[in-house]
Chain A
Amino acid sequence: MSALVTAISLAQDPPAKETLAPIDYGAIMPMLIILGAACLGVLFEALLPRHQRWSAQVALTLLALVGAGVTMAFYIADAPADGTLTLAGAIAVDRPALFLWGTLLALALGAVLMIADRTVEPGGAFVAQAAIRPGTVQDREQRLGAHPDRRDGARFQMQTEVFPLTLFALGGMMVFCSANDLLTMFIALEVLSLPLYLMCGLARRRRLLSQEAAVKYFLLGAFASAFFLYGLALLYGYAGSVRLADIANAAAGSDRSDTLLFGGMALLIVGLLFKGSVGPFHAWTPDVYQGAPTPLTGFMAACTKVAAFGGILRVLSVGLESTQWEWRGIMWGVAIVSMIIGAVLGLTQTDIKRMIAYSSIAHAGFLLIGAIVLTPDGLSSTLFYLLAYGFTTVATFGVISLVRDADGEATHLSQWAGLAKRSPLVAGVFTFLLLALAGIPLTSGFIGKFVVFSAALSDGMAPLVVIALIASAVAAFFYLRVIVLMYFSEPAPDGPTVTVPGAFTTASITLGVVVTLLLGIVPAFALDWADAGTFALR
Chain B
Amino acid sequence: MAVDRGGTRPTADRPGWSACVIAVAGFALCLFAGGAGFSLPWAPSLDLRLAFALDGLAVLYGLLATGVGALVFAYGTRYLTLHLEHQRRPAVERWRFWPWMTLFAVSMVGLATAQDLVLVFVFFDLTAVCSYFLIGFDRAEREARRSALMALLVTVVAAVAMLVAAVLLHAEHGTFAIPELLDRAEPSTTTTLAAALLAVAALAKSAQVPLHFWLPKAMAAPTPVSAYLHSAAMVAAGVLVLGRVHPLLARSEAVLTGLVVVGAASVVVGGVLALRRDVLKQVLAYSTISQYGYMVMLYGIGGAAANGAAAFYVLAHGIAKSALFMTAGAVTMATGEDRLSRLGGLGRRVPVLAVAAGAASATLAALPLTVGFFKDELLFAAAVERGPVTVVLAVVAATLTFAYIGRFWIGLFLGPARGSVGAASTLLVAPVVVLAAVAVLGGVVVEPFARLAEDAATVSAGEPVTMSPGYHLDARPENLMAVAAWALGGLLLVLPRLTDGLSRAFAAAGERFGPRRAYDGTLRALDRVSAAVHDREVRDLRGSIAAVLVPAGLLIGVAFVATPTAGAYMVGIVEGADWVILPLLALVVVATVVTARARVRLVVALALAVVGFALAALYALVGAPDVALVAVVVETMLTLVFVAALSRLPREDPDRFVPGDPVRRRRDVFAALLAGLAAFVALWGFLSQPAADSVSDEHLRLTPSAHGGDVVTVIVADFRGLDTLVEITVLLVAVVGVATLVRRGRLW
A: which residues have CB within 8 A of B? 2-3, 6-7, 9-14, 16, 216, 219-220, 223-224, 227, 234, 237, 240, 255-263, 265-267, 269-270, 274, 280-284, 287, 326, 330, 341, 344-349, 435, 440-442, 446-447, 450-451, 453-454, 457-458, 465-466, 469, 472-474, 476-477, 480-481, 484, 487-490, 522-524, 527-528, 531
Please state if A262 and B559 are interface contacts (CB–CB under 8 Å). Answer: yes
Check A263/B556 contact, CB under 8 A, given A7-B624, A476-B156. Answer: yes
**Bound Cα distance from A241 to B369, whole angstroms:** 88
Instruction: Provide the residues of chain A in CB contact with B133, threshold 8 Å.
Output: 487
Instruction: Provide the residues of chain A in CB contact with B44, threshold 8 Å.
Output: 524
Where chain B touches its partner, the secondary structure class is helix
Check A223/B549 contact, CB under 8 A, given A347-B527, A524-B45. Answer: yes
Please state if B140 and A490 are interface contacts (CB–CB under 8 Å). Answer: yes
Instruction: Provide the residues of chain A in CB contact with B43, threshold 8 Å.
Output: 447, 522-524, 527
Instruction: Provide the residues of chain B in CB contact with A490, threshold 8 Å.
Output: 140
Please state if B129 and A440 are interface contacts (CB–CB under 8 Å). Answer: yes
Minimum CB–CB distance for B130 against chain A, Å: 12
**Bound Cα distance from A64 to B574, whole angstroms:** 59
Q: Which residue of B lies closest to A529 (CB)?
A: B45
Cβ of B534 within 8 Å of any chain A Cβ, yes or no, is yes
Minimum CB–CB distance for B445 against chain A, Å: 41
Instruction: Provide the residues of chain A in CB contact with B702, threshold 8 Å.
Output: 16
Please state if A345 and B559 are interface contacts (CB–CB under 8 Å). Answer: no
Q: Which of B163, B168, B531, B630 is A3 in contact with, Cβ under 8 Å?
A: B630
Q: Which of A240, A263, A451, A458 is B693 in contact with, Cβ under 8 Å?
A: A240
Please state if B126 and A473 are interface contacts (CB–CB under 8 Å). Answer: no
Minimum CB–CB distance for A280 against chain B, Å: 4
Where chain A touches its partner, the secondary structure class is helix
Q: Which residue of B lies closest to A442 (CB)?
A: B122
Q: Could you list 14 further interchain pairs (A-B, Cβ under 8 angstroms) beyond the known A266-B559, A280-B551?
A: A3-B631, A6-B634, A7-B627, A11-B624, A14-B719, A223-B549, A240-B692, A257-B688, A259-B682, A263-B556, A270-B552, A347-B530, A488-B144, A524-B41
The 10 closest A-B pairs by CB, nearest first: A262-B559, A240-B692, A488-B139, A283-B544, A441-B122, A257-B685, A258-B563, A347-B530, A283-B547, A266-B555
Q: Which of B163, B548, B682 is A234 in contact with, Cβ under 8 Å?
A: B682
Q: List 5 contacting pairs A-B, 8 Å CB cutoff, sorted by A.
A: A7-B631, A283-B545, A344-B530, A440-B156, A488-B136
Check A330/B551 contact, CB under 8 A, given A259-B568, A457-B168, A487-B139. Answer: no
Please state if A345 and B549 are interface contacts (CB–CB under 8 Å). Answer: no
Q: Which residue of A lies closest to B695 (CB)?
A: A13
Q: Which residue of A lies closest to B565 (CB)?
A: A259
**Bound Cα distance from A9 to B626, whole angstroms:** 12
Cβ of B153 within 8 Å of any chain A Cβ, yes or no, is yes
Q: Which residue of B lies closest to A286 (CB)?
A: B537
| B119-158 contact mask (Cβ, 8 Å, vs A): 1 or 0 | 0011001100100010010011000110011001100110
Interface residues in B18-73 by Cβ distance below 8 A to A read 41-46
Please state if B171 and A457 are interface contacts (CB–CB under 8 Å). Answer: yes
Cβ of B539 within 8 Å of any chain A Cβ, yes or no, is yes
Minimum CB–CB distance for A262 against chain B, Å: 3
Please state if A10 and B548 are interface contacts (CB–CB under 8 Å). Answer: no
Give how many A-B residue pairs fall within 8 Å (CB-CB): 215
Minimum CB–CB distance for A183 against chain B, Å: 13
Instruction: Provide the residues of chain B in CB contact with A12, threshold 8 Å.
Output: 695
**Bound Cα distance from A334 to B593, whole angstroms:** 35
**Bound Cα distance from A444 to B549, whole angstroms:** 35
Minimum CB–CB distance for B181 against chain A, Å: 15
Interface residues in B704-720 by Cβ distance below 8 A to A read 719-720
Please state if A263 and B560 are interface contacts (CB–CB under 8 Å). Answer: yes
**Bound Cα distance from A259 to B541, whole angstroms:** 31
Instruction: Provide the residues of chain A in CB contact with B163, threshold 8 Å.
Output: 450
Please state if A216 and B686 are interface contacts (CB–CB under 8 Å). Answer: no
Cβ of B740 within 8 Å of any chain A Cβ, yes or no, is no
Please state if B720 and A234 are interface contacts (CB–CB under 8 Å). Answer: no
Check A489/B547 contact, CB under 8 A, given A348-B527, A524-B41. Answer: no
